[in-house]
Amino acid sequence: MIGIDLFSGAGGMTLGAKLSGINVRYSVEINKYATETYQFNNPDVTVFNKDIEKIKPDMFEASGNLVLFGGPPCQGFSVSNSKTRNKENPKNWLFKEFFRLAKALKPNWIVIENVTGIKETEGGYFLEKILKELVKLEYLVNHQVLTASDYGVPQSRNRYFIVGNNQSIDFKFPKPIQTKVTVYDAIGDLPDLENGHSISKMNYKTNHPHSNFTDLMRNGIDYVHNNLVTRNAPHIVKRYKYIPQGGNWENIPKRLMKNYSDRERCHTGIYHRLVEDEPAKVIGNFRKNMLVHPRQDRGLSVREAARLQSFPDYYIFKGSIGFQQQQVADAVPPLLAKAVFEQISLIDASI
């Protein structure tokens, strides 16, 4: 099965598809930093670093058994961005470009991923439009919210998946697995770092993986990249010391939060220290949200966040630390994508 990834970002969905046996041949991504990361890690894929409106169907030499997938930019559907959750935001209409290409390419399968907020935006207007468009193109559609921690990802992240096929197959989403991967399972073998750590390549803290998950993430390599940590000001680091695992800004003494004009309006994700024996909270832009390492008084490194997204250690992020952090935050967890694509591959193999 041949894969085309639209709005690919750094490549979380592509990696999930590849891990399920899909031959991903093309990617479209407008962000140059995400494209640099994608191309570095996927040298076998033809990448179009262009606005999707400039992509023509004949740019893809793909025929036969094809799966077209991707996640149209979701900032406009995000629950945290209520100001942009409306019909006037042009980013909310980029799914039309997805369907323009789908109509021309006629893939056997279509997979669309987005934030769960797409269900509520404009009273479900956009979700309804997407589903109606798929039906118009004669796809049988199933859609469901999936929780990443149910599929081997050490993070409680919910994503909305829409799967359609033009072969009248009643697609069933994969069943959740019982065992949850915790934060410590995921990052316990990574090196101890300081606030503002700036050396990317380092040895692991332990010679051997300490969990099945870290064994999977290491994949036999002896060192790890992207060990970069935002340098916080001393007064920020001082605040961290008061926060227990599972705690947040509410645990910080008021005298240390005087720069907040209205401290009580902080949301619970600010200064959240991760709990080591549970899956992580959502890895959004973890620098802005100030997610705190469970044991060390600092923010997460890029690699720690990538582990919590289920990116293996051989997957290296490019650009400055801020661009790396954003790429990790925006990505679809590869193991979550893999679970969906594996289901498609199993069905395809049985036809």
Q: What is the dihedral of CA 255, 257, 260, 263, to 10 degrees?
A: -90
At residue 61, what are phi and psi to the nearest 5 degrees? -95, 75
Q: Please state, in angstroms and rounded to a whole number, the distance separating the CA atoms of residues 192 and 5.
A: 36
CB 74 within 8 A of CB 115: yes
Q: Is the dihedral of CA 138, 142, 99, 123 positive or negative?
A: positive
Question: Two tokens at 176?
Answer: 């959740």
Q: Please state, in angstroms and rounded to a whole number, the distance separating the CA atoms of residues 203 and 214.
A: 14
Element (H, E) at 26: strand 23-28
Q: Which residue among the candidates 74, 148, 283, 292 is catalytic per the annotation?
A: 74
* Kind of pairing between the strands at 140-147 and 109-115: unpaired
Q: Assess whether 74 carries a catalytic annotation.
A: yes
The DSSP line for 58-126 is: GG----SSEEEEE----GGG-TT-GGG-STT-GGGGTHHHHHHHHHHH--SEEEEEEEGGGGTGGGGHH
At residue 184, what are phi and psi to the nearest 5 degrees? -65, -40
Active site residues: 74
